[in-house]
Amino acid sequence: MTNKEKLPFGKANYSIMLAGIAVILIGLFIMSLDKEEFGFGFLGLTLGPLVVLAGFTIEFFAILRKK
């Protein structure tokens, strides 16, 4: 049994996970761009959280994907 067979995920899984982390970070950055008081504008309440949710969905897909 080689070392590659012991890894829980394949290379594609890790690539998708990195993409999901990037999308989450982009969503957090979008939320920080909101100029409304306490972040109550469109970017802070709608667009940013939707992008973060998409990132978590990508992470969920990456974990459940077969090798």
Judge whether 58 lies within some domain: yes
Judge whether 36 lies within some domain: yes
Judge whether 3 lies within some domain: no
Residue 67: per-residue pLDDT: 72
Tell me what percent of the residues of the chain surpass a pLDDT of 90.
Answer: 81
Residue 3: per-residue pLDDT: 60
Judge whether 2 lies within some domain: no
Residue 1: per-residue pLDDT: 56
Q: Strand locations in the chain, DSSP E?
A: none
Q: Taking a C-beta distance cutoff of 8 angstroms, is the pair 33, 43 a contact?
A: yes
Judge whether 1 lies within some domain: no
Calculate mean pLDDT across residues 8-33: 96
Name every residue whose Cβ is closer than 8 Å to that of residue 27 and which is 6 or more positions away in sequence: 48, 49, 50, 51, 52, 53, 54, 55
If pLDDT is split at 50, 70 and 90, which confidence band does 25 have?
A: very high
Judge whether 21 lies within some domain: yes
Q: Taking a C-beta distance cutoff of 8 angstroms, is the pair 16, 23 a contact?
A: no
Our count of domains for the chain comes to: 1
Average pLDDT, the chain: 92
Higher pLDDT, 8 or 3: 8
